[in-house]
């Protein structure tokens, strides 16, 4: 059988594939990348062109593609077994991985529930929290059913995780399927919902969260937050102290704190987990994306022993957690994750991050002279550049112009692959990015902005 030509693959792509978060009416016009291979930090298309993968293949790739140690770990695992079930049974790789995750995680998180993606990691946390309150202390606090979240939050695309979300464009049309949550205005400093500027800010956002949680007190099951940064909302960085105050008010009313580190976990923040920056440990921690270095779909929801214990008892009492996916704890994904954690331990990844983060910050500052750059938000080795039509009034471009996409397309002509969130250009480069590559990345973005924002 002869290999299909790139033109054939493109035709079959148009004929058969339904792409996620993609308006198919303009898909082909926006010159989608057709990836054939990866080489280190670069994606290679079917024409042999190379692009720096500056969004980490949607925020999950940590060390580039075809990383020898991860490739070898998966190959070695293939010689043992690809997958076996964790339902009522066990397997070596996920046990080893659970132990490693517990060693790395914030204090008190001792139990690991595996699933397949970021959305399910959150879905699992929600269901665990709800069931915990039904079973803890004989169900005395079973009225705790309310989840407090942030407007503009994004926690995934399953019905439960969408219920937590606050991005109108993504979430509104599914409203009839969703359960109610209590949404507090997000800490979006550039467009502060409380009308403050840096100089006048008194962390009204944190005060509003506290007030909402105190008002609902005994009805609150959990506060659910993206840890440190609201990613999909446009890399909106929480002010210092925000997480700490969330932890404190959760404790004050006796509610749980669920932190979603799907996007921020595994080094992105400059620490292994973003909550370490504020010295906060959640009751439930959701991990995915970077867990396997960007190789295979896998997620983990970590829980405290106190939560786990509420699920113990004779089977007839029905305290079991009735949730589990076919591929839970997949052996190949576990092997990839263990190799990823080995790279962190052996290659000084976290130790090298402060220098790269500072360099990224300095290079980002160099973009501030561009009139279309409204706000630059950096969180560790991630950043969002919000483009505006009118910098003075912070007025956005009409959404229909798809400026963010146009900028990313123009940057691609300079050898960099980016995918925006609306008009925010998102950077999630490999944690191992070199200085030269950072300079190249920023040059390409400058060219892209200049070319696509008249």
Which of 232/385 has CB closer to ligand PMP? 232
Which of 153/249 has CB closer to ligand PMP? 153
Among 112-120, 235-243, 403-411, 440-448, the segment contacting ligand PMP (CB under 6 A): 112-120
**Residue 149 sits in the site that holds ligand PMP (CB under 6 A):** no
- Site residues (CB under 6 A) for ligand PMP, limited to 220-239: 226, 231-232
Among 26-34, 113-121, 186-194, 423-431, the segment contacting ligand PMP (CB under 6 A): 113-121
For residues 343 and 71, what is the distance between their CA atoms, to the nearest angstrom? Answer: 12
Q: Are residues 335 and 76 in contact, defined by beta-carbon separation less than 8 angstroms? A: yes
For residues 165 and 153, what is the distance between their CA atoms, to the nearest angstrom? Answer: 5
Which of 141/226 has CB closer to ligand PMP? 226
Q: How far is the CB of 188 from ligand PMP (least distance, A)?
A: 16
Residue 309: phi, psi to the nearest 5?
Answer: -65, -30
For residues 62 and 71, what is the distance between their CA atoms, to the nearest angstrom? Answer: 14
Which of 59/397 has CB closer to ligand PMP? 59
Angle at 188 between CA 275 and CA 151, to 5 degrees: 85
Which of 120/453 has CB closer to ligand PMP? 120
* Start-to-end Cα distance in the chain: 49
Q: How far is the CB of 34 from ligand PMP (least distance, A)?
A: 22
**Residue 288 sits in the site that holds ligand PMP (CB under 6 A):** yes
Q: How far is the CB of 294 from ligand PMP (least distance, A)?
A: 11
Residues that contact ligand PMP, how many (by CB under 6 A): 15
Give the per-residue contact string, 247-286, with ligand PMP (x = CB under 6 A; - = no): -------------x-xx-----------------------
**Residue 119 sits in the site that holds ligand PMP (CB under 6 A):** yes
Q: How far is the CB of 393 from ligand PMP (least distance, A)?
A: 29
- Site residues (CB under 6 A) for ligand PMP, limited to 38-77: 59
Which of 229/249 has CB closer to ligand PMP? 229
Q: How far is the CB of 154 from ligand PMP (least distance, A)?
A: 6
Residues of this chain that bind ligand PMP (CB under 6 A): 59, 117-119, 122, 154-156, 226, 231-232, 260, 262-263, 288
């Amino acid at each position: 059988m002869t290999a299909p030509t790139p033109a054939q693959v493109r035709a079959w792509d148009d004929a058969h594939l339904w792409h996620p978060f993609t308006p198919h009416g303009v898909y082909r016009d926006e010159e989608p990348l057709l990836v054939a291979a990866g080489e280190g930090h670069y994606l290679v298309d079917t024409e042999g062109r190379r692009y720096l993968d500056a969004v980490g293949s949607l925020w999950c790739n940590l060390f580039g593609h075809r990383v020898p140690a991860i490739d070898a770990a998966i190959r070695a695992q293939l010689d043992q077994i690809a997958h076996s079930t964790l339902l009522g049974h066990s397997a070596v790789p996920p046990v080893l991985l659970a132990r490693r995750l517990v060693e790395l995680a914030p204090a008190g998180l001792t139990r690991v529930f595996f699933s397949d993606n970021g959305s399910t990691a959150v879905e699992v946390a929600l269901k665990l929290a709800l069931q915990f309150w039904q079973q803890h202390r004989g169900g005395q606090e079973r009225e705790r059913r309310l989840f407090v979240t942030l407007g503009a939050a994004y926690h995934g695309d399953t019905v439960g995780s969408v219920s937590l979300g606050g991005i109108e464009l993504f979430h509104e049309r599914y409203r009839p399927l969703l359960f109610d949550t209590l949404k507090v205005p997000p800490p979006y400093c550039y467009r502060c919902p409380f009308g403050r500027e840096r100089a006048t800010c008194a962390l009204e956002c944190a005060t509003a969260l506290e007030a909402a949680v105190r008002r609902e007190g005994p009805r609150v099951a959990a506060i659910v937050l993206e840890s440190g940064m609201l990613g999909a909302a446009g890399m909106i960085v929480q002010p210092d102290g925000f997480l700490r105050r969330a932890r404190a008010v959760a404790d004050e009313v006796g509610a749980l704190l669920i932190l979603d580190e799907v996007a921020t976990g595994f080094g992105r923040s400059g620490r292994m987990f973003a909550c370490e920056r504020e010295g906060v440990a959640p009751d439930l921690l959701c991990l995915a994306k970077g867990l396997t270095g960007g190789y295979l779909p896998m997620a983990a929801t970590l829980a405290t022993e106190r939560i786990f214990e509420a699920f113990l008892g004779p089977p007839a009492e029905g305290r079991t957690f009735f949730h589990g996916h076919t591929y839970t704890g997949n052996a190949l994904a576990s092997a990839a994750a263990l190799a990823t954690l080995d790279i962190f331990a052996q290659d000084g990844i976290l130790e090298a991050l402060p220098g790269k983060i500072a360099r990224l910050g300095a290079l980002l500052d160099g973009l501030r002279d561009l009139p279309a750059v409204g706000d630059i938000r950096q969180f560790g080795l991630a950043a969002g550049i919000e483009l505006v039509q009118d910098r003075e009034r912070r007025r956005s471009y009409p959404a229909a112009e798809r400026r963010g996409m146009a900028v990313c397309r123009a940057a691609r002509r300079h050898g960099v692959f980016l995918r925006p969130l609306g008009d925010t250009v998102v950077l999630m480069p490999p944690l191992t990015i070199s200085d030269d590559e950072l300079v190249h990345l920023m040059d390409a973005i400058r060219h892209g902005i200049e070319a696509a924002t008249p």
